[in-house]
């Protein structure tokens, strides 16, 4: 006889372990933690972009100022 088709034990992956709060319907704290971490990451990326833009603007302005100095002498 071939393999049993009725025994599906282990098919479909594993279920995650639920905490007591999750079992009682309080929901997951992980979702809130992930949201907070994502917000912090977005804020950090925004600050880094602003700094990079400011540095690029000052770098672009400096050569123009240096070129003007020798011409005035």
Count structural domains, the chain.
1
Residue 30 is predicted with a pLDDT of: 73
| Residue 50 domain boundaries | 28-64
- Residue 1 or 48, more confident: 48
pTM over 0.75: no
pLDDT of 11 above 60: yes
CA atoms of 22 and 50, how far apart (whole Å): 40
Give domain status of residue 57, yes or no: yes
Residue 62 is predicted with a pLDDT of: 74
Handedness of CA 61, 63, 66, 71 (dihedral sign): negative
Give domain status of residue 48, yes or no: yes
**Residue 22: exposed, middle, or buried by beta-carbon count in 10 A (0-12, 13-18, 19+)?**
middle
């Amino acid at each position: 006889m071939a393999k049993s088709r009725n025994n599906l034990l282990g098919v479909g992956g594993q279920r995650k372990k639920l905490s007591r709060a999750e079992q009682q319907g309080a929901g997951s704290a992980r979702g809130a933690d992930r949201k907070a971490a994502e917000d912090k990451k977005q804020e950090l990326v925004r600050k880094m972009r602003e700094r990079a833009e400011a540095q690029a603007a000052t770098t672009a302005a400096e050569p123009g100022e240096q070129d003007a100095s020798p011409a005035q002498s």
